[in-house]
Amino acid sequence: MHVTLVHIRVKPAFVDDFMAATQINVKASRQEKGCVHFDLLQEIDKPTQFILYEMFKDEQAANSHKSTPHYVTWRHDVAPMMASPREGVRYHNMSETL
């Protein structure tokens, strides 16, 4: 599995707009052939901070996601809403080996 947590900080004035745009991306991403899991998490104590939890069957599926129309649109639309650049951190799914 290919797991990435994308850490996102949004400008306070754009939280609702960010969530609306991201919900469209989440729903479309979940329909991708290689998508295993795709969620948007919002930090409870810091509502301007989010994590996109992305799990794809392999690196090829994750890379293909980045060329889909819904992702390209999302990336463009949310860019001015960001308080800082997004940070994607890749992880190994260790539960597969347990």
Position 97 in a domain: no
What does pLDDT average to over the chain?
Answer: 96
98 assigned to some structural domain: no
Contact assessment for residue 77 and residue 19, using Cβ atoms and an 8 Å cutoff = no
Whether residue 69 is contained in a domain is answered as yes
Provide DSSP, 27-70. HHHTTSTTEEEEEEEE-SS-TTEEEEEEEESSHHHHHHHTTSHH
CA gap 26, 12 in Å, rounded: 21
pLDDT tens for the chain, 98 residues long, are: 899 999 999 999 999 999 999 999 999 999 999 999 999 999 999 999 999 999 999 999 999 999 999 999 999 999 999 999 999 999 988 887 77
The proportion of the chain whose per-residue pLDDT surpasses 70, expressed as a percent, equals 100
Domains in the chain: how many in total?
A: 1
Look at residue 43 and tell me if it is in a domain.
Answer: yes
Domain residue limits at 39: 2-92
Torsion, CA 62, CA 89, CA 18, CA 55, rounded to 10: 40
pLDDT at 64 (0 to 100): 96
Predicted local confidence at residue 95, as pLDDT: 83
Which CATH number is 61's domain given? 3.30.70.100
pTM of structure? 0.91
Tokens of 17: 């707009």
Q: Which two tokens stand for residue 4?
A: 């990435």
